[in-house]
Amino acid sequence: MRVIRSVSGMQRLSLEWKRAGVRIALVPTMGYLHAGHLSLVERARKAVGSRRKVVVSIYVNPTQFAPSEDFSRYPRDLTRDLRLCRSKGVDILFVPENADMYPNPPGEEFSTYVTEEKVSRGMEGASRPTHFRGVATVVAKLFNIILPDVAVFGAKDYQQAAVVQRMVRDLNFPLRIIVSPTVRERDGLALSSRNKYLEGTRRADALVLSRAIRKARAAVSSRRNGSLSAPRLKSDLRRLIAKVPSARLDYIEFFDPGTLVPVSTVKAGVHLALAVFIGNTRLIDNARL
Amino acid sequence: MRVIRSVSGMQRLSLEWKRAGVRIALVPTMGYLHAGHLSLVERARKAVGSRRKVVVSIYVNPTQFAPSEDFSRYPRDLTRDLRLCRSKGVDILFVPENADMYPNPPGEEFSTYVTEEKVSRGMEGASRPTHFRGVATVVAKLFNIILPDVAVFGAKDYQQAAVVQRMVRDLNFPLRIIVSPTVRERDGLALSSRNKYLEGTRRADALVLSRAIRKARAAVSSRRNGSLSAPRLKSDLRRLIAKVPSARLDYIEFFDPGTLVPVSTVKAGVHLALAVFIGNTRLIDNARL
């Protein structure tokens, strides 16, 4: 496994590979890797086969964090990430620097952004107004630098995957997006690098997200032949979450899994997503019901 | 020469070429080709050599026109364009349809745009607020569909070329932009498909743009050792333009050719751009002084 830090060095290698007909799979991450990321690496390897190349990028992208958010304290452990990627047979670990990704010479500052204006609007987009602009921009950059045939994203960031898929369709990126299932701890907690922030009893409190999903699922399956009112089910889940003193609901939404448009009645196939602060830690989760 | 109308067909061919190591040059146009466009085709052929591929795209891109502008009456003559491209040894003429470029299924409408926020602000960007968003978006799409190693743009649309260059740098498109000189009629009129709109005496009136450039050049060379006040030179040129009854100045700007930041003093090396309505026809021109 090679570690590449320079944008031009990475792009040069990708271009060489493309000219030689080598297929490339990309797993974009912000590092501090966990079993969820590693499942994406496995999915990427499966997609392109053993003789092709798997690139993992590790980049905590500043443009997708608001000034008030956790950019500077986002967990980082490159030594461990390196070891994990090596153990998974990753070919290239791409770890660019901010000054290389967002060049800033006086008078010629970075000034181009990609914005998606429909599926990025609600939920995460409403709570974090510039988040998806940062995501779409950095993902477009990574696609142009690494030139993957396939890119693998985690379903835990469901809306992010939808924004990226829309961008790929609209801007005609010549690649395929794979969305790989959320990996969970045994007790149901969705894996996230931010789980590291959960200290003491907060770890148990964080289970309220997956508990809400289970409750919604149970409600749907107990009404197999009817449909549920979304506002009513939302209040039930709000009450469930309010029982945990450290929890503060940011949003909970039922929506069409393809268009991400909110629905007023809930039935099997509808998607649920929620964001909850556990203390100061903002966690998200989602599932198809 | 082959004419390709489908986006997926064009992208499939480009991917085949890339895998075979074939270099591709792109000349993006809105058709109604004139000698200016053909000079771009020659430049493209020179850039990639005779054994490589030159693609000309013809697409009157709706997203770069405001509702009040001339999208529907923009001149079109595909038969003539075809003949001209064939005579220039173009390999592929790519002529996509609107429904293929901007897919619009209900609930999943086209929704991703590329915006450049610095060099696109003044001049054309100030007069035509959504113009460069449309340009950057369609150019990004063409780059992803045609996968060129080189793309050639005309210097007549100087700010457009600057926006595209900034986008290529910021989003890391793996290609090189060439900006090719403006081609003029003998009397100085810059070639433009919109010159077709000029009827009767308007053709002669339109010479006021190149006359303004010559006057600015003369002013700069007569003051070889000093510099001129930009506001004063602007008023001189405004007066020159006001002498033509059918002419209405939109803007005139002196700026740094690299950053496009306006300057207050004019000297050799400064760039001049202007937009003037001749009757209802909006013309632009520019030059380095």
Q: What's the pLDDT tens digit per position in B38-82? A: 999 999 999 998 779 999 999 999 999 999 998 999 999 999 999
Sheet strand arrangement including B92-94: B2-4, B92-94, B53-58, B24-29, B150-154, B176-180
Q: What is the pTM of this model?
A: 0.96
State whether the Cα torsion B155-B25-A57-A209 is positive or negative: positive
**Which token pair is A212?**
């809400």
Nearest C-alpha neighbor of A138 from the set B148, B120, B172? B172
A230-260 pLDDT per residue, tens: 999 999 999 999 999 999 999 999 999 999 9
A175-212 pLDDT per residue, tens: 999 999 999 999 999 999 999 999 999 999 999 999 99
How many other C-beta atoms are found inside a 10 Å radius of the C-beta of residue A236?
A: 14
Instruction: For residue A86, give Cα distances in angstroms to A2, A22, A76.
Output: 9, 20, 17
Is the pLDDT reported for residue A225 higher than 70? no
Is the pLDDT reported for residue B11 higher than 90? yes
Give residues with Cβ within 8 angstroms of A93, minimum separation 6: A1, A2, A3, A4, A55, A56, A57, A58, A81, A82, A85
Q: Given this model, what pLDDT does residue A21 score?
A: 87
- Structural domains in chain A? 2-180 (3.40.50.620), 193-288 (3.30.1300.10)
A158-170 pLDDT per residue, tens: 999 999 999 999 9
For residues B271 and B253, give the distance between their C-alpha atoms in angstroms, rounded to a whole number. 8
More confident residue, A72 or A153: A153
Residue from B12, B94, B112, B256 to probe the interface with A (highest A Cβ count within 10 Å): B112
Is the pLDDT reported for residue B224 higher than 80? no
pLDDT band at residue A224 using 50, 70 and 90 as cut-offs: low
A255-285 pLDDT per residue, tens: 999 999 999 999 999 999 999 999 999 999 9
Query: In chain B, which residues have their Cβ closer than 8 Å to the Cβ of A145?
Result: 172, 174
Catalytic residue status for B131? no
CB contact under 8 A, A118 and B136: no
Query: In chain A, which residues have their Cβ closer than 8 Å to the Cβ of B172?
Result: 7, 11, 141, 144-145
Query: In chain A, which residues have their Cβ closer than 8 Å to the Cβ of B138?
Result: none
How many residues would you count in chain B? Answer: 289
Is the pLDDT reported for residue B225 higher than 80? no
Helices (H), A20-157: 35-48, 78-87, 98-101, 123-127, 131-146
**Which token pair is B37?**
């466009």
Query: What dihedral angle (degrees, nearest 10) is formed by the CA atoms of B82, B83, B88, B90?
Result: 30
**Which token pair is B63?**
């997203």
A82-128 pLDDT per residue, tens: 999 999 999 999 999 999 999 999 889 999 999 999 999 999 999 99
For residues A238 and A249, the answer to whether their CB atoms sit within 8 Å is: yes
Q: Given this model, what pLDDT does residue A235 score?
A: 96
What interface predicted TM-score (ipTM) does this complex get? 0.95
For residues A179 and A35, give the distance between their C-alpha atoms in angstroms, rounded to a whole number. 15
Give residue B80's region: left, alpha or beta (phi > 0; psi -120 to 50): alpha
Q: What's B83-122 look like in SS3?
A: HHHHHCCCCEEECCCHHHHCCCCCCCCCCEEEEECCCCCC
A40-53 pLDDT per residue, tens: 999 999 999 877 99
CB contact under 8 A, A169 and B144: no
Distant-in-sequence contacts of A184-187, Cβ < 8 A, 24+ apart = A184/A210
Is the pLDDT reported for residue B226 higher than 80? no
Could you list the active site residues of A?
A: 37
CB contact under 8 A, A107 and B258: yes
